[in-house]
Structure 1
Amino acid sequence: MRIIEIPMLDELVEARNRMRAHYDALLRRSHSDSVKLHFTFDGNLVGDLGEALAVKHFGIRLVETKSHPGIDGYAPDGNTTVQVKATGTKRGPAFRKTETRAHHLLFFDIDFDNRIAQVVFNGPERYAITKLPTEFSNQRQLSPKQIREADALVLDHERLPRIE
Structure 2
Amino acid sequence: MPYRREFILPPVVADLVAARNKLREHYKSASLKFTLDGNLVGDIGEAVAAEIFGIRLVCGNGTGIDGHAADGRSVQVKATGTGRGPVFRCVDTRADHLLFLDFDFESLGGEIIFNGPEHVALANMPEAWIGQRPVSKVQIRAADALVPIEDRLMREDVG
- The offset of 1:39, in angstroms, is 1.9
- Which runs of 4 or more aligned residues in structure 1 lie more than 4 Å from their structure 2 counterparts after TM superposition? none
Counterpart Cα distance in 1 of 2:14 and 2:57? 26
1:47 is matched with which residue: 28, 42, 48?
42
Are residues 20 and 127 of structure 1, via their aligned partners in 2, closer, same or farther at CA, if it must alter by over 3 Å?
same
Are residues 134 and 11 of structure 1, via their aligned partners in 2, closer, same or farther at CA, if it must alter by over 3 Å?
same
For the residue of structure 2 that corresponds to 1:99, the secondary structure is coil
- The offset of 1:43, in angstroms, is 1.9
Give deviations 1:114-137, integer Å, cap 9, x for gaps.
111211100000111113244421
- The offset of 1:44, in angstroms, is 2.2
2:64 is matched with which residue: 60, 67, 70?
70
What residue in structure 2 maps to residue 156 of structure 1? 149
Are residues 67 and 112 of structure 1, via their aligned partners in 2, closer, same or farther at CA, if it must alter by over 3 Å?
closer
Larger radius of gyration: 1
Structure 1, unpaired ranges of 5+: 28-36
1:141 is matched with which residue: 131, 134, 137?
134
Name the Cα RMSD after superposition: 1.6
The answer to whether residue 27 in structure 2 is matched with residue 23 in structure 1 is yes
Give deviations 1:87-137, integer Å, cap 9, x for gaps.
111111111111211110001111111111211100000111113244421
Please, what TM-score do these two structures have when normalized by structure 2?
A: 0.88
**Aligned amino acid, residue 77 of structure 1:** D
Q: How many residues align?
A: 153
Structure 2, unpaired ranges of 5+: none
For the residue of structure 2 that corresponds to 1:41, the secondary structure is coil
1:106 is matched with which residue: 99, 116, 127?
99
- Contact 1:109 1:119 (8 Å CA) reproduced: yes
Q: Matched residues, percent identical?
A: 53
